[in-house]
Every structure is written in structure tokens, then in C-alpha cells.
Amino acid sequence: MNGHAITNYRAAGPASSVRASPHGASAAHALPTGAERVLMEAMERALRAPRGKMALALHLSRLRPPAPRPHHIRIARALMEDTAQRYGGQVFPLRNGDLVLICAAPGDEARGQMGQAAPTALPASLARMFGASAPEDGKLTTVWRLDGEAEQFRAFATRRRDDPPYEASRDDGCGSIACLLPLEMSVSTAAVPDLLAQQDAIHLQPGRHLPLTARLAPLYRELTLVRGALTGHPEAAEALADPYLFRHFAAGLDVRMLNHLQQDLEHGGQLTRGALRQKLRLHLNLTLQGIVSPEFARFVQTARSSGGKFGIEISMMAAAADPDMMDYARRLLDMAGFLLVVDELDHVGLTMTRPAALQPALVKLGWSPRLADAPHDVKMAIEGAITRIGPERLVLHHADSEAALLWGQAHGIMRFQGFFLDAVQAAARIAGCHSARACTLRQCITRAASLSATVRVGCGNPGLLDMAPDYRAAATSGAAPPALLPASNQNAPHALRTT
């Protein structure tokens, strides 16, 4: 039942919204509509004189979520229409977000003149552009020569009637921001715990023959702004897709969070009590402005007398936005005895930056399946970057699957944070909790992540939510690993033990 809950959670993501279902129940009765009908008619016209013509399909619907975003479709269409104009062709946007170009196929001579925009060169150009979110099977485009592959193209066009429609994801923060005014008011007045979430990271201990739960040691607890608290309204979600606006809100919370945590430390409050008792380092996400603020200086004074351990997470973007202030902030952290953690590095940023130049204690790399299935040259660049940073300094963040743990260990990374570990922790908590009979794994995960009293109200043992669990108890009960694996991994529940 617990596993079922996780499966639903994963399936609710944007991946399902854009994927075609060729064997869907309604497929046999679907009729071509709009764009698909226009494509079919144009195809039949082109096939009446197929010599020297070609078709190219750009499968944007196969991109990894959150792609395809509106700008992906907009720009790809502009590029293909430019080629269509030069080669007497036409572009057909399909309802699932894919684009099809039918045009004249250039000879070798013309191809040289057109360069990368030639229809035959487009697949390589598009593959490079979309490399960061390339489809899992690598098939971003399909090309048909109409004088030899007419039937294959006809079969493709005919099947398009079965495609589910493309559900537009958020645009790029182009809309009005007036909707954010009430949100700003609520961020400045809401109870601080309602705006925060917490998540524990773990350090995977050596011991390949031991069960996973016997190898987990708590590493730190991160307090972070709940994006969901800001993006509840669709318009707000679109506006906050702008990274600058999101950081404005985060910066606004810095001062309130620091003041609140200072009081919490002084009075042994719920936000810091669990970490202090277990001597677990507490990580805060702060902007540079927050670190140089008087509130931070006051927080440092209280933190020192509390005997707790602290780390401050700063994004590479913030560091690059103001390297001088970053340098000053780093010295303040040194003097405070707080660890510097570089945050928000993704698989592309990893190979484009040198986070070690900031001399951080830890660097958080966001997990993406792209890390594992990138082309050979990108893989080499990723491995080079890991070596330069040092795998002992890397934390694989957003580790939401067994694949993430396997990839991390294969690259010497033993520190992890993410949903998969949240589930492991929740299972261990349930195994050791006397009030957990009616609790689902999902409920326990949600309650432990939240600092809001209203979310935690159903828990009969709330003190346990803030304690890193005794994993050994869970390991001996045998409750954790099989129930924790996402549906796709249910067939290999012991893979981690043999890594």
C-alpha cells in the first residue's frame, strides 16, 4: 500500500501529461482533428510528387519534463519555418506539441550553402539545442525521404490522431506580476513555520553486504522555503518562474526566518530542537544580502551559545551575481564557524562552473537521469568535474530513485538527499513508532517534511518527526527496502545491497 502511494506520487508529475499513449483505450475511435487533418492532407499532396522531398518530425513531446516549455516550441517552430520558407515547405504543429516539416530535400551543393539550417542538417542542430533535456531513447527527430519512405511517413502521420494533447507548462515569467502583490503580503505576515520545509540528508556508510537501512547515517537537516507556499495560484506560479522574482521572495523571508530561528534556538523550539538534540547540523538557505544583514550577526551570536552546528547554502547563481559580496559573505561564514554549501548545481551547471573556487565544505548536485545517459563527451566532462570538486564533497540532491543512489555510488558519491531517502526515513520511523498503525508512508513523509502544525496534526508522535530515525530498528524489522522502491524498481529490491 505504501508503495502504491509512492507510485501515484510519481505518476502525478508532468511526465505523464505530455507522453503519447499509442495503445490508449480511445485510440481506435479517435478521428483526426485540426492540425493532424491538415498534416494528412499536406502529406497526400506531397506524396503525389514525392521525388526530392522530405519530411522531418521533431518529437518535442518526448523531451524530459519540464520540457517542452513554451519557448522550446516557439523557437523550434521559428527555426523550422525559416527552413520551410527557403525550401518551399510547410511546418505542421501537432496537438501533442510535436512539429513536422515537409519540404524539398536539398542537394549536396545547396546543403553546403544553407549550413546548419538546411533541412538535412536540422536534426543535428536541434539535437544539440535540446541536448540538456534529450529524450530517454535519444530519438528527438525522424526524417523520411518521401520518394522511398512514403509508407513509413504515412504510418507516422496516421498514428498522430491517437496522441494526447500537449498540456502547456508554465511559460517563462512573461506575464503580469501584479498577482504577486497579495503573495508578498502573505509571505511577510504568515507564520514562519508554515513557509518552511525540512529535509534530512544522509551519508551512506561502506558495507556492500549490509541492507541499505543499516548503512545510513544522518548528515544534516536542511530548512528551506516551501515553493508550494508561493506557487499555489497558477498566475503566481508563472510569475515565479522568473528566477529573480523567486529570489526576491526568498530574500524577503531571510530576515523573518533568521529572527524566528534565533528565538527558536533561545527557547528550545520545535524548528531547531530535534537537530540540536541529535547534534545534527542545520542548513539554512540564505541570500548574500541575508548573510551580511544584522539579523544574521545576531543569529550567529545565539547559534554559538546554543552549541549547535550550522551550514549555509548559497546558490551558484547568487555567488556569480556578486562575487565581491560572495567573498565577504564567505569570510563572515568562516568567522561564524558555519559551513559554506554550494547549492543548486544541475548536470549542465556542473560542467560549466568551478564551485571548488569558493572552497565550500559541500556541493549539492541535483540528480537527473541525464547524468547517467548523457553522450560520451558529456559523461567525460561530468566525471572530470566530479574529480575536480572531489566526490567526498558532493551531495547528490533530489535523489528520488534507486537509480540516483546507484549512479552516485558508482562515482564515489556517498552523500544523498531526496525523496527516496525521505521514504527510507519514514519507513524507519513507522517501524519504531508506537502510534503508527494507521499511518501511511506518504503521510509520514509529508508530516516530517513540514514544520506547520496544521500539517502535522494527524501524527500521534510528532516529536519523532524531527528525530533522525534509528535505521537499525527498521533494518531488523525488514520493513523498509521492498516497500520503498518506486514501481519501476520493484523487480530489483536488493540491487543496492550488491553495489
Partner 1 sequence: MLSARPDSAEALLDLLRKTELSGTQRRALLLHTDRLPPALAKQHHQRLARDAIAGLALADRAQHFELSRGRVAIVWRQRGGCELETALAALDHLLSDLPQDQAFPPGQLVTLYDLPEQAAWLMDEIANRGGLASHDAPEAVLPLDLAVLVRLEQALAQAEISRFIRWRPVLRLDGGAGAPVWLERYVAAHEIAANLCPDRRIKGNPWLFRRLTRSFDRRMLSILTGPQDLRDSGPFALNLNLATILAPEFLRFDAALPTSLRGAVTLNLLAADILADPSTFTFARDFVRLRGYKLLLRQASAALLSLLDVGAAELDYVHVAYTPDLVANPDSLRGLLPEGTTPVLTGVLPSAVAWARQHGYELVRGP
Give buried/exposed letters for 84-105 (b at 16+ CB in 10 A, else e). bebbebbbbbbbbbbbbbbbbb
Using CB under 8 A as the binding rule, whether residue 243 contacts partner 1 is answered as yes
List, as one string, the DSSP characters of 431-460: HT-TT-TT--HHHHHHHHHB--HHHHTT-S
Among 230, 223, 254, which Cα is nearest to 343's? 223
- Closer by beta carbon to partner 1, 396 or else 431: 396
Task: Indicate the Cα dihedral angle 333, 337, 338, 340, nearest 10°.
Answer: 60
Cβ-contact 183, 236 below 8 angstroms: yes
Phi, psi of 485, rounded to the nearest 5 degrees? -70, 135
Of 97-105, 210-218, 227-235, 354-362, the segment contacting partner 1 by CB under 8 A is: 354-362
Q: How far is the CB of 11 from partner 1 (least distance, A)?
A: 24
For partner 1, how many residues bind (rule: CB under 8 A)? 66
Residues in contact with 268: Cβ distance below 8 Å, sequence separation at least 6, in sequence order: 276
Using CB under 8 A as the binding rule, whether residue 292 contacts partner 1 is answered as yes
Name which position in 30, 40, 190, 245 contacts partner 1 (CB under 8 A): 245
Indicate the DSSP class of residue 490.
T
| Per-position x/- string for 153-192, each x denoting binding to partner 1 as judged by CB under 8 A, each - no binding | -------------------xxx-xxx-xx--x--------
Name which position in 125, 142, 278, 461 contacts partner 1 (CB under 8 A): 125
Residues 309-348 that bind partner 1 (CB under 8 A): 315-324, 326-328, 331-332, 335-336, 346-348
Q: How far is the CB of 389 from partner 1 (least distance, A)?
A: 13
Identify the burial level of 112 via C-beta atoms within 10 angstroms of its C-beta, where 0-12 means exposed, 13-18 middle and 19 or more buried: exposed
Using CB under 8 A as the binding rule, whether residue 72 contacts partner 1 is answered as yes
191: left (phi over 0), alpha (psi -120 to 50) or beta: beta
Residues in contact with 312: Cβ distance below 8 Å, sequence separation at least 6, in sequence order: 283, 284, 285, 286, 291, 333, 338, 339, 340, 341
Name which position in 192, 358, 362, 374 contacts partner 1 (CB under 8 A): 358
Name which position in 170, 247, 442, 472 contacts partner 1 (CB under 8 A): 247
| Per-position x/- string for 455-494, each x denoting binding to partner 1 as judged by CB under 8 A, each - no binding | ----------------------------------------
Cβ-contact 455, 466 below 8 angstroms: no
Using CB under 8 A as the binding rule, whether residue 378 contacts partner 1 is answered as no
Q: How far is the CB of 12 from partner 1 (least distance, A)?
A: 23
Binding residues for partner 1 (CB under 8 A): 71-72, 74-75, 78-79, 116-117, 125, 128-133, 172-174, 176-178, 180-181, 184, 242-245, 247-248, 251, 289, 292-294, 297, 300, 315-324, 326-328, 331-332, 335-336, 346-349, 351-355, 357-358, 381
